[in-house]
Each structure stands twice: as structure tokens, then as C-alpha cells.
């Protein structure tokens, strides 16, 4: 096991937004085993997450994107209201290049698939803490195309989603009903229906099921003992 060495730099706060306690404990243990000057903080209450980290501290927030109770954009908006200096890293099963580029577009600085976490979590945190981006060259090229003068259209010709539409898309992927989405976002159900129609049209989807992943990913934990 690596010894933990505190470096004479400002301590880095690493927040964990994770749905499952076993995964949270695994990530905390992994972070504490790194030779880095950091403090892991488990952000158990999503709505109070921003108040659980010291003000004006250097922060990297890890998101286990699988099975989050709220749309990712809800968390990002809350952090950005408090501080513009937080860096975000997404963790999930292997995603398509376009999906990771979408994360960058929404405000993330990096992404790791679950199988990369044991070896690359430390370098990824160090990179985004310095203001760098941790993604593959393919993802960066896709992101640059999305943010170019042609950003109103993606490569497939579908329109880019608005922030609200991205929230709706995230909840549709989790199989939330229109009524549940309305309650979570504090909007009318008729408004949800309007946004759902726009999302399906922009993504060239024939129905809600087209947005549901065929499989689910899980972070494989090492066996103890």
C-alpha cells in the first residue's frame, strides 16, 4: 500500500458525489492511499453539498454518474453559484466519444471509466486541479467541433440541447415519468411534455425508450481480505 505523504502545498478538497456507500468507501480509501495532499469529503446530501466544503478551498468534485438521484446539471449549477473554481470529473462505464464531449460541454474537466479508476484517478485529479482537461484526444477533437462556429448543429445534424433539455434528457434516461420530472425540477407537467418533445426531436429519437441505455455499468470493487 502506498504511504500517504502530505505535500507543502494548499490542501486539495476532493468531494465525492456517489449514490452507493460501498463505492464511496472504496473511493475514499483509494484517495487516502495516494501520495497527494488531499482530503476526501463524502457529500451525502446532494442539495447541501456545496456547503460541506471549506469556502475558497481548491476543490475537485468526483461524480459517479451512474444512478445519481438528480440530473448532473442540477449539481453543477449549485457548485457554480458558490464558486467558479471547482473542477469536475465524471466516473461511469465506458461512454461514447460524443457522450464524454457532452460532459465537457456541460462543465466537466475530465472523465474516467470505472476500469481506469484504480490506476488513473490520482493523475486525473492532479491534472484538473491545475486547470487542465483529462480526456482522450478523440474526445477533445469532438468537443472542439461542437464548440466551433458550427456549434448549433452536431455532426449528425441534430440540434444541441439547452440546459433544461439536458436535464430532461438525463431524467428520461433514468426512466422518470413526466410527473416525477415535474416534481424534481419544480415545473409544470405540461412544460415537461413540451421539453420531452423537443428532446426527442433534437436527438432523432422515436420515443423515450431510445434514450434508455441498454445496459448499466457498475464500479467493480476489489475483494477484501
Of 158 and 118, more confident: 118
Domain locations in the chain as residue ranges: 12-146, 163-211
Mean pLDDT is highest, among 120-124, 144-148, 172-176, 221-225, for: 120-124
Residue 52 CA, chain-centre distance (Å), reads 18
Provide the grid cell at 211. Answer: 434514450
Which of the listed ranges 90-94, 196-200, 212-216 does the model predict with the highest average pLDDT? 90-94
pLDDT the model gives residue 46: 61
- pLDDT class for 31, splitting at 50, 70, 90? very high
Q: How confident is the model at residue 63 (pLDDT cuts 50, 70, 90)?
A: very high
Share of the chain above pLDDT 70, in %: 81
Determine whether 168 is exposed, middle or buried from the number of CB atoms within 10 Å of its CB (0-12, 13-18, 19+): buried
Say which CATH topology domain 12-146 has: Rossmann fold (3.40.50)
Whether 163 has a pLDDT exceeding 80, the answer reads no
Average pLDDT over residues 84-96: 88
3-17, 51-65, 171-185: which has the minimum mean pLDDT? 3-17
For the chain, what's the residue count? 225
Check pLDDT > 70 for residue 9: no
In this predicted structure, the answer to whether residue 140 has a pLDDT above a threshold of 90 is yes
Q: Percent of the chain, pLDDT > 90?
A: 27
Which residues make Cβ contacts (< 8 Å) with residue 87, sequence separation at least 6? 59, 60, 61, 109, 110, 128, 129, 131
Most confident of 4-13, 57-66, 214-223: 57-66
Which CATH entry fits the domain spanning 163-211: 2.120.10.30, 1.10.10.10, 1.10.260.40, 3.40.190.10? 1.10.10.10
- Given strand 12-17, what is the order of strands in its sheet? 38-42, 12-17, 58-64, 87-92, 110-113
Amino acid at each position: 500500500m502506498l504511504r500517504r505523504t502530505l505535500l507543502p502545498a494548499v490542501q486539495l478538497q476532493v468531494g465525492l458525489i456517489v449514490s452507493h456507500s460501498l463505492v464511496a468507501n472504496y473511493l475514499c480509501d483509494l484517495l487516502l492511499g495516494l501520495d497527494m495532499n488531499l482530503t476526501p469529503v463524502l457529500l451525502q446530501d446532494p442539495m447541501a453539498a456545496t456547503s460541506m466544503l471549506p469556502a475558497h478551498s481548491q476543490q475537485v468534485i468526483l461524480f459517479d454518474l451512474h444512478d445519481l438521484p438528480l440530473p448532473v446539471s442540477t449539481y453543477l449549477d449549485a457548485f457554480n453559484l458558490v464558486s467558479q473554481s471547482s473542477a469536475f470529473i465524471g466516473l461511469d462505464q465506458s461512454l461514447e466519444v460524443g457522450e464524454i464531449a457532452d460532459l465537457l460541454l456541460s462543465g466537466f474537466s475530465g472523465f474516467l471509466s470505472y476500469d481506469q479508476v484504480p490506476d488513473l484517478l490520482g493523475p486525473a485529479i492532479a491534472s484538473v486541479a491545475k486547470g487542465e482537461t483529462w480526456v482522450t484526444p478523440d474526445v477533445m477533437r469532438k468537443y472542439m467541433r461542437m464548440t466551433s462556429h458550427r456549434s448549433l448543429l452536431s455532426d449528425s445534424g441534430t440540434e444541441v440541447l439547452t440546459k433544461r433539455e439536458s436535464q430532461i434528457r438525463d431524467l428520461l434516461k433514468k426512466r422518470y415519468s413526466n410527473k416525477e420530472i415535474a416534481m424534481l425540477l419544480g415545473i409544470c407537467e405540461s412544460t415537461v411534455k413540451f421539453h420531452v418533445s423537443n428532446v426527442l426531436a433534437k436527438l432523432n429519437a422515436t420515443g423515450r425508450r431510445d434514450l434508455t441505455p441498454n445496459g448499466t455499468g457498475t464500479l467493480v470493487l476489489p475483494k477484501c481480505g
